């Protein structure tokens, strides 16, 4: 399989409402789409979002890295997905988001060529998975804003079928966050409710938070302390916490998962394609977690379109169980680049929303062009 043409689209899509995290305030989604054309005229699409505080990649650096990758990629025969990751590593060091974008587009092309869906292809890579596959994945809804707004949103989305939740913490005082958590977990009792500090807490505050009687109804706590903290800090946090500990920014692939597992420092992890360098390594990470009875959360960065949503969901449909839910972030965008965006059905994503071959969705080129970020242009090779 040869690449005959590559087109890069730097996008900026406004959010329905701003999202406040512990270390950043997001008003629009900055993401990059890549369209590859092969010698048969098929088109494969990839996407990766910027994440300066997670991968170190900005819109400028992501576009620059993709330009370099696709220039080199056109000289390569892409016949076996098992070699896609090593081939990308042989072109460019690090830059996981750019590599994820390229690999996604290549896998879209390959699975179209083989007339198989991406999620079904992933299952062929592990003969230990049972034949029966899940038909739906629980979607996780993020809560934010004032407590009154969080309560109103929780009631509304729960009526719509949502049962998985994330409460952002770390930007308010410990006392304020614990009060919010207590109110919301009482309201959502019986659901899977998590918190995410994006690494903003000190170790002492994280331990105090987890031990508080106000937090006892939480299902898990994600990335409470900084990803650069000593491994011994993560070990102590897990030892002291009655709440299961999940990691996000600390996990960029199977090496970190193995390290934290060996130290008994996590109960599960959040997997994002832009961190792992692509679908294939994220799939590998999901299998490792599942085989060690650790929980999986799948997530798109805030915010990505249905394209990344479909690619990430493919891991969930293939693995068959996503106990900590799937953060499908196109739900926070004012508009999507697909004519039929992926959407929640009773709080779940159903596999029937995906096309039978490839990643499962195809962007509308006019919508993509309309979303090009101000000051940027479309690049074609």
Closest CA to 9 of 305, 272, 312, 335: 305
CB 62 within 8 A of CB 52: no
What sign for the dihedral angle of Cα 159, 175, 245, 211?
A: negative
Can you give the pLDDT at residue 20?
Answer: 84
**Number of other CB atoms surrounding residue 244 within 10 Å:** 19
Strands 3-20 and 25-38: antiparallel
What sign for the dihedral angle of Cα 123, 110, 281, 302?
A: negative
Distance CA 41, CA 324 (A): 39
Phi and psi torsions of 272, nearest 5°? -125, 140
Can you give the pLDDT at residue 126?
Answer: 85
**Number of other CB atoms surrounding residue 41 within 10 Å:** 8
CA angle 111/342/20 to nearest 5° reads 120
Can you give the pLDDT at residue 368?
Answer: 98
Q: What is the mean pLDDT of each run of 10 residues along the chain (381 residues)?
A: 97 94 89 98 98 93 97 96 96 97 98 97 82 81 96 98 97 97 98 98 98 98 98 98 98 98 98 98 97 97 96 96 97 96 97 95 97 97 91
Can you give the pLDDT at residue 133?
Answer: 62
CA angle 345/351/353 to nearest 5° reads 65
**Number of other CB atoms surrounding residue 158 within 10 Å:** 16
**Cβ contacts of 256 within 8 Å, gap of 6 or more:** 247, 250
Can you give the pLDDT at residue 128?
Answer: 74
Can you give the pLDDT at residue 23?
Answer: 82
Give the chain's count of helices (H) and strands (E). Answer: 13, 14
Environment class of 311 (CB within 10 Å of its CB; exposed 0-12, middle 13-18, buried 19+):
buried
Closest CA to 65 of 89, 29, 43, 38: 89
State if pTM tops 0.95: yes
């Amino acid at each position: 399989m040869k690449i005959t043409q590559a087109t890069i689209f730097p996008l900026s899509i406004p959010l329905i409402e701003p999202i406040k995290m512990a270390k950043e305030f997001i008003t629009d989604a900055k993401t990059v789409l890549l369209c590859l054309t092969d010698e048969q005229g098929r088109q494969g699409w990839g996407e990766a979002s910027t994440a300066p505080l997670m991968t170190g990649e900005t819109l400028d650096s992501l576009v620059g890295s993709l330009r370099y990758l696709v220039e080199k990629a056109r000289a390569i025969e892409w016949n076996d997905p098992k070699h896609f990751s090593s081939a990308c590593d042989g072109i460019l060091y690090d830059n996981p988001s750019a590599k994820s974008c390229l690999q996604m587009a290549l896998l879209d092309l390959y699975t179209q060529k083989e007339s198989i869906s991406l999620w079904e292809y992933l299952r062929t890579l592990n003969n230990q998975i049972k034949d029966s596959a899940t038909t739906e994945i629980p979607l996780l809804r993020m809560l934010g804003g004032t407590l009154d707004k969080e309560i109103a949103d929780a009631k509304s989305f729960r009526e719509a079928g949502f049962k998985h939740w994330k409460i952002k913490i770390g930007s308010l005082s410990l006392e304020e966050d614990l009060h919010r958590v207590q109110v919301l977990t009482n309201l959502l009792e019986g659901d899977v409710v998590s918190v995410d500090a994006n690494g903003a807490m000190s170790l002492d505050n994280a331990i105090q938070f987890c031990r508080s009687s106000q937090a006892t109804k939480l299902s898990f706590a994600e990335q409470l302390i900084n990803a650069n903290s000593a491994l011994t800090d993560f070990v102590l946090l897990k030892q002291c916490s009655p709440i299961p500990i999940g990691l996000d920014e600390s996990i960029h692939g199977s090496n970190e998962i193995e390290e934290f597992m060996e130290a008994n420092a996590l109960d599960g992890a959040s997997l994002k394609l832009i961190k792992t360098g692509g679908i294939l390594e994220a799939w590998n990470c999901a299998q490792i977690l599942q085989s060690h009875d650790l929980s999986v959360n799948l997530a798109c960065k805030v915010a990505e379109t249905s394209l990344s949503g479909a690619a990430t969901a493919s891991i969930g449909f293939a693995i068959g169980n996503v106990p900590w839910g799937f953060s499908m972030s196109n739900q926070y965008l004012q508009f999507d680049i697909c004519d039929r965006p992926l959407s929640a059905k009773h709080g779940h994503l159903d596999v029937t929303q995906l096309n039978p071959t490839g990643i499962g969705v195809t962007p509308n080129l006019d919508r993509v062009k309309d979303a090009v970020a101000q000051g940027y242009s479309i690049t074609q090779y």
